Structure 1
Amino acid sequence: MVDEKLGAGVPHSSIDLYAPAQLLDPWEGYRQLRELGSIAWLTDLQMYAFTGYAEAKRALTNWQTFSSASGVMMNETMNQVLRGNTLCSDGERHAAQRRVIIDPLTPRALQPLKPQIDSMAKELVDDLVMRKTFDAVTDLAQHLPVNIVANLVGLPEEGRSQMLVWATQMFNCFGPDNERTRASMPVLEEMVEYATTQAVPGKLKPGSWAEAVHHAAARGVIDPSACPALMIDYMGPSLDTTISAIASAVYLFAEHPDQWDAVRGNAELIPSAINEVLRMESPIQGWSRYLLQDAVFGDATLPAGSRALILWGAANRDPVKYPDPDRFDVRRNPIDHLGFGAGPHACLGMNLAKMEIGAVLEALIARVERFEISGSPERALNHVLRGFNRLEVTVH
């Protein structure tokens, strides 16, 4: 029986990765798990935890063994709800859907948007610098993703204002079957209802990304029944992850002014700085995979039928991969970080995210010498996302 094999050959840990204190400050817990080994068995969740970079990347790039088709969440309710969308599918079905979703998100397709994004970022930063003190989350980080994505996806106006709430609660629903997950489920139901009844032909903006998904279904490229789930692909991950990354960048530069000086002195460091922000503060801390067959790691065999929690946030601070991993260094340029995942399920919107983050940093470089955290930052309590609810800063 599979149950007899679970956890054999790897260290066991009773750490609760989804306790509030751990979610708000995960690094010590990750360190404790990593000291046990790059893979550990979580007795509470009955899952394996991958904290080593090499092991995490191997899992993320091998869908034949570490499958997403059975869902990537830590509870079976959500695994059933989103089964079949790009996040929770594999093989040719996944590839066909991914081609449709990613078509407007390739670097070439996004290039015509760059002047508009740069202009919006400059106008926004100019306004905020005049105010001097502002919330780096609501006033800065949310502006571009909400305005750019909502318009390009082409969703009906009714419901757009709820996109941020829906996306945040959707990620909370990815956690284990606990009170926080269950409390978020009704909000997710609203999101699914909107995707099913409102994000449909006739209500979508002509020429929009969402309309293109329905056109692909009409041509037989994808199964029409997948359309609501694919709408959620656009409505959720495209917003919160970018917002989290922009706010985290401001926080890190406020805490490390020497690194801001380095970027201000050499704008060519912006791509490297973005990679380092994503490594240090991975917006997605991780989700799971289902093992379709046994996987051997050293002396341990992880059995088919088990589930592995791939902790991107922990892997990105693995000292075996990144020396002095807790040091923020904009010159490190960790181009192989796992902040966007890896393999066939790597983040669909990474190119747009990097364009938006880069535009904000370029605009800030021109106007800001220093960030000063004005109040007490409020971390967001979320099962998957790492970010802030509030980050008040004063710029100089």
Structure 2
Amino acid sequence: MTAVRDIPVSDVDLFADDARVDPYPIYRELRDAGPVVEMARHGHYALPRYADVRAALMDWRTFSSARSVFVDEETNRTLEGITLCSDPPDHTMMRSVLGRPLRPDRMREIAPTIAAEADRVVDRVVGAGRFDAVADLAEHLPMAVVSTLVGLGEEYRGKLLEWAAAIWDVQGPRNQRFLDAGPQVGEFLSFAANDAVPGRIDPDGWAAHLYEAADRGEMPREKCPVMMLDYVTPSLDTTILGIASMIALFADHPDQWDALRADRSLIPHAINEALRIETPVPQFTRVLTEDHEIDGVALPAGSRVALLYGSANRDERKYPDPDRFDITRKPSDHLAFGRGEHVCVGMHLARLEMSTLLERLADRVSRFEVRGRTPMINNGLRGWEHLDVTVSPV
């Protein structure tokens, strides 16, 4: 890599356990250091400020995903060409197929199913009074919806979360979590290639629709197995972590829960604010296709650059008092779902699931109290592994 002058260098490891648990002081140091920081441990640069991350997301021609978006270069080479790790026109082709069942108009069709599942899980946890807000609440709706709609079969439901977490772990460097995840990632890829195929999946499910699109000549058939990743990983962990973080935030800020219960029009803003302040996917990388200048800092073509969504969403240059949870803030411009060409294809489903749960909980719960919490430590995700909660019913 060509040496670049006048760029601050950080030796911090954003994938160390303590940084996964609480990255926010580190993010502030990186933002204060400059618009671009060289991350010495992992051989790439980082953009920690909101304006620069957003500009990069809107410029896919310069900040390319085609050489993959993770950290480890061997993994990046292996994943080149999947939807997440591609640029137009290939990305457009795959995304157009993936996105059909996730369009806003299709969400109206599945809204009754989501409402019924939300009623079921809220009845159960409120009746129990004390529960794990991750395993008992947050996981229920995405797991029930995704396993049914993708059409992979009930027998695989228990494995989906394990596979998804492992796939996120290989987003990082070759630390122990990365190495431990390898066999499970291999297991998922074998499942996708050999079991999640026509004749063994629901013919009306989203997975089957991938093969139907390939049969119509809309995309190569060999893309179908790995495109299962796009339905399984983004649709599960990110939504689960977003729901759990909302519960923790409302427990820690009961005045905000009171405000939401009094004014349900705040629900969309509450979701955005929770995703802003606790971003489930803290970063992806891009590779520069040409020499490029960022706020006066020159980077050469070929540089790998991490876009730090988790830092950008707490940038005080963008959001006043950014560490404060305030559901009247209305931060619809947060970057938790990305922006531009690679904006999250499943964000409409995630919003529907989260808003439906909040509606039901607001009807039934006057107060949340957290009795204990265990952070998730994962190379690609951030949130709660367990959240022991009691509720006061209405």
Gap runs ≥5 in structure 1: none
Q: How is 1:288-307 mapped onto 2 (pairs within 5 angstroms)?
A: 288-307=285-304
In structure 2, distance between residues paired with 1:212 and 1:192: 18
Aligned match of 1:284 = 281
Q: Deviations over 1:324-355 (max 9, x none)?
A: 10000000010010010111101110000000
Which structure 2 residues correspond to residues 201-350 of structure 1 after superposition, within 5 A? 201-350=198-347
Q: Tell me whether 1:129 sits opposite 2:126 in the alignment.
A: yes
Match of 1:386 among 363, 382, 392: 382
C-alpha deviation, 1:161, in angstroms: 1.5
CA distance in structure 2 between the aligned counterparts of 1:216 and 1:325, rounded to whole angstroms: 44
1:37 Cα offset (Å): 1.2
1:39: Cα distance to partner? 1.7
1:4 matches 2:3 = yes
Deviations 1:233-270 (A, max 9, x none): 11111100000000000000000000000000001100
Instruction: Give, in whole Å, the separation in 2 of the partners of 1:369 and 1:192.
Output: 44
Distance in structure 2 (CA, Å) of the matches to 1:305 and 1:380:
33
Residues 380 and 389 in structure 1, CA contact (< 8 A), matched pair in contact too = yes
Between the aligned partners of 1:292 and 1:186, the Cα distance in structure 2 is: 33
- For normalisation by structure 1, the TM-score amounts to 0.97
Aligned pairs (5 A) from 1:1-396: 2-5=1-4, 8-375=5-372, 377-396=373-392
Supply the distance in 2 between the matched residues of 1:39 and 1:362 (Cα, whole angstroms). Answer: 41
How far the C-alpha of 1:123 sits from its partner, in A, is 2.1
RMSD, matched Cα: 1.0
Which of 119-128 and 249-258 deviates more? 119-128
Distance (whole Å) between structure 2 residues aligned to residue 4 and residue 26 of structure 1: 27
One-letter code of the match for 2:2? D
- Is the 2:273–2:331 Cα contact (8 Å) retained in structure 1? yes
Shift in Å, 1:300: 1.3
Cα distance per residue 1:265-307 (max 9 Å; x no partner) = 0011000000000100011101101111111113211111110
> Aligned letter for 2:257?
W
Quick one: distance in 2 between partners of 1:115 and 1:382? 33
Q: Secondary structure at the match of 2:2?
A: helix
The residue type equivalent to 1:61 in the other structure is M
Contact 2:63-2:289 at 8 Å conserved across structures: yes
Whole-angstrom distance in 2 between the partners of 1:298 and 1:162: 45
Aligned residue identity for 2:192: A
Identity of aligned residues (%): 45
Separation in 2, partners of 1:294, 1:207: 47
The aligned amino acid for 2:313 is N
Instruction: Indicate if the aligned counterparts of 1:156 and 1:198 stay in contact, CA closer than 8 A.
Output: no
Equivalent residues of 1:159, 1:194 under 8 A apart? no
Q: Alpha-carbon deviation of 1:384?
A: 1.5
Find the aligned partners of 1:203 and 1:83 in 2 and give their Cα distance.
27
Aligned residues of 2:35 and 2:295 also touching (Cα < 8 A):
no
Query: Runs of 5+ in structure 2 lacking a partner?
Result: none
Q: 1:199: Cα distance to partner?
A: 1.0
